[in-house]
Amino acid sequence: MIARYRSRSRVARVEELWGFLLISPWVVGFLLFTAGPMLVSLYFSFTEYAFPLKPAWIGLANYVRAFARDELFGMSLWNTLYYVGLAVPLGVCLSLMLALLLDRRISGRAVWRTIYYLPSIVPVVSATFLFLYIFQPDYGLINGWLWKLFEVEGPGWFNSRVWVKPTFILLALWSAGGPTMIILLAGLQNVPGEMYDAAKVDGAGRGRRFRHITLPLLSPTLFFVLITGLIAAFKIFGAVYVSTQGGPFYGSYFYVLHLFTQAFSHWQLGYASALAWILFVIVLVFTLIQFRFSGGWVHYEGETDNRAS
């Protein structure tokens, strides 16, 4: 008895050892590149750290500076909220529309799907340059068409303080046929066809079927793409950095651009760390709010299916 117990626990111990050994790369990486840097950056955020000088403790001064004294902080936050608030809902709606279009009996579906998907795999720098060219105010295609078709003088797009944010939103919408659409399409295809048939027999019209069957069953998926879309949109950086650099007149000066400028142009690592932590908290709060409000409208089929939670 005892011998058997011992030997089994020896096996269990060997198993445990192997388990730890196998996950050790992640553990080391987590300590080295995630947990360690997180704590260090939290510390930096309470310091004045003008690299390469040494950091000096200044308490909450960086956070006070952000909320009370840094005009660019408020501006970048407003610009980012403007962008996120429009780009994400519009993007999800457009993705849903594309997914609904593809979720029908239609010939050449693979072709349409491929065309919708392609923009999302274009590297962000290339995509931005393409849009810079097409939306060029003087000789770009869009303004040319606006003039030819409607005799309207098109706006300055990337060159206009007012229009630059909508233009970046359009750039984001161009990739609405990418991963988000594919995820929604997969969600749509999980809706059992019999439910539509039953609703049709009951005389439910297209609009009611969409509202009472499609939307509720798709809500966990919609919820997921909203959260991930929101977090991604909040971190917009590349497209702006390679084109307007935040201009004109700070019209496209987004949050991460401010952070990046503070860190790697001004080398204010303390203040930039505070900005990074504020970003982290904002993203976290948004995620939590969405989780909280999802209870009312997100429908999970069955009790056990909590994959999207």
Partner 1 sequence: MTAGDAAPARGARGPIQAWDVFTNILTVGLAFVFGFPLFWAVSSALKLPIELNVIPPLWFPPAPRWRNFMEVNDVLPFFRFMGNTAVITVASTVGGVLTASLVAYGFSHFRFRGRQAIFILMLSTLMLPIEVTLIPTYLIFNELRMVDTFWPLFLPDWFGGGPFAIFLFRQFFLSIPRDLSDAAKIDGCHVMRFYRSILVPLSVPVMITLSILFFQGSWNELMRPLIYLTSMTNYTVSVGLMFLRTQILANVAQRGEPTEHLLMAGSVISMMPSLILFFVLQRYFIRGVIMSGIKG
- Residues in 280-309 at the binding interface with partner 1, rule: CB under 8 A: 280, 283-284, 287, 307-309
- For the chain, first and last CA: distance in Å? 45
Task: Please name the residues in contact with 2: beta carbons below 8 A apart, sequence gap of 6 or more.
Answer: none
**Least CB distance from residue 38 to partner 1, whole Å?**
6
**By the 8 A CB rule, do 173 and 91 touch?**
yes
Per CB under 8 A, 56 contacts partner 1: no
CA separation for the pair 256, 235 (Å, rounded): 6
Does 89 interact with partner 1 (rule: CB under 8 A)? no
Residue 151 falls in which region: left (phi positive, over 0), alpha (psi -120 to 50) or beta: left
Q: Which of 48, 81, 137, 144 binds partner 1 (CB under 8 A)?
A: 144
Q: Tell me the window of 14-22, 72-80, 207-215, 293-301 that interacts with partner 1 (CB under 8 A).
A: 14-22
Residue 41 binds partner 1, judged by CB under 8 A: yes
Q: Tell me: does residue 250 bind partner 1 (CB under 8 A).
A: no
> Quick one: tokens of 49?
């750290």
- Does 154 interact with partner 1 (rule: CB under 8 A)? no
Beta carbon nearer to partner 1, 1 or 21 = 21
For partner 1 (CB under 8 A), the number of binding residues is: 90
Phi/psi zone of residue 70: left (φ > 0), alpha (ψ -120 to 50 degrees), beta? beta
Of the candidates 129, 120, 102, 243, the one whose C-alpha atom is nearest the C-alpha of residue 172 is: 120
66 versus 279: smaller Cβ distance to partner 1: 279
Quick one: 82 or 112, whose CB is closer to partner 1?
112
